[in-house]
Amino acid sequence: MKQKRVLFLTGTRADYGKMKPLMRALDDRKEFQVFIFVCGMHLSETFGGTFTEVLKDGYENVHIAYGLLQTQNASVNVGNTIAYLSGYVEHVRPDMIVVHGDRMEALAGAVVGALHNILVAHIEGGELSGTIDESIRHAISKFAHIHFVCTKEAQARLIQLGEEPDRIYVIGSPDIDVMMSDRLPSVGRAKERYDIRFERYGILMYHPVTTEYDRVGIYCRTVVDAVKCKMEL
């Protein structure tokens, strides 16, 4: 039986972590051949050069798109990724391209797949987040042919967008697969790694506005100052 070639596109450590369980599941089956295209923030030393995390997992077919240096110009990033990925897709000729979420790299992957008549599978479509991220996510969903969503609410939104119900699968959040893994470090090791010396502590997460990159520093300082002020009351 001819192997089905499945190409995963990953641009960040975040989407890689969510797609890795699926990559592993397909890589363990003889009827599939897994290919991984690594680009985007993975290549930035500022964000840790996380392409090395993909390499150390030992997949056979990993392509690091070293030529795709990320810039602050999102439209340039999308254009460059489409051009570069198109050449790679013509070489590999995958049966399916898998993308995740709402990033520019995922949009580029969906566009390339759709224009090459290749099945596109989109993970975590139908979510609401506001700003440009939501527009990108919905655009990816319209280019995609198969949808793996987290909730029934997300499923309903894709149906409202005109997607065929029998192409939408509610699978829950891929994050749960990560959280339930028996390979995660213990709480003690995590506290040691991040030098958390307190018995009582909280974790604050802040998601910046994609189109306001130049003001992220101001916003972060405002959030931290507000938290410190609250703690002092």
Torsion of Cα atoms, 72 then 77 then 79 then 84, to 10°: 150
Q: In angstroms, rounded to a whole number, what is the distance separating the alpha carbons of residues 204 and 196?
A: 14
What is the Cα–Cα distance from 136 to 65, expressed in whole angstroms? 22
Q: Which two tokens stand for residue 4?
A: 């089905």
Share the mean pLDDT of the chain: 92
Domain ranges for the chain: 4-179, 187-232
pLDDT of residue 7 exceeding 70, the answer is yes
- The dotted CATH code for 4-179 is 3.40.50.2000
Long-range contacts of 69-72 (CB under 8 A, 24+ apart): 69/43, 70/40, 70/41, 70/43, 70/44, 72/213
Q: Give bridge partners of residue 36 from the DSSP assignment.
A: 8, 62
Edge-to-edge strand list for the sheet holding 4-10: 62-64, 32-38, 4-10, 96-100, 119-123, 146-149, 168-170
In this structure, is the dihedral angle defined by the CA atoms of residues 151, 152, 154 and 158, taken in order, positive or negative? positive
196 CB-near residues (< 8 Å, 6+ apart): 190
Residue 233's pLDDT band (cuts 50, 70, 90): low
Higher pLDDT, 34 or 176: 34
Q: 52-102 pLDDT, tens per residue? A: 999 999 999 999 999 887 777 778 889 999 999 999 999 999 999 999 999
d(CA 71, CA 75): 9
Show the tokens assigned to 158: 């894709």
Q: What is d(CA 54, CA 19) in angstroms, rounded to the nearest whole number? A: 11
For residue range 205-231, what is the model confidence (pLDDT) as tens digits?
888 887 787 898 999 999 999 998 877
CA dihedral 148, 150, 153, 157 (to 10 degrees): -40
Residue 117 is classified by DSSP as T
* Residue 166: predicted pLDDT: 97
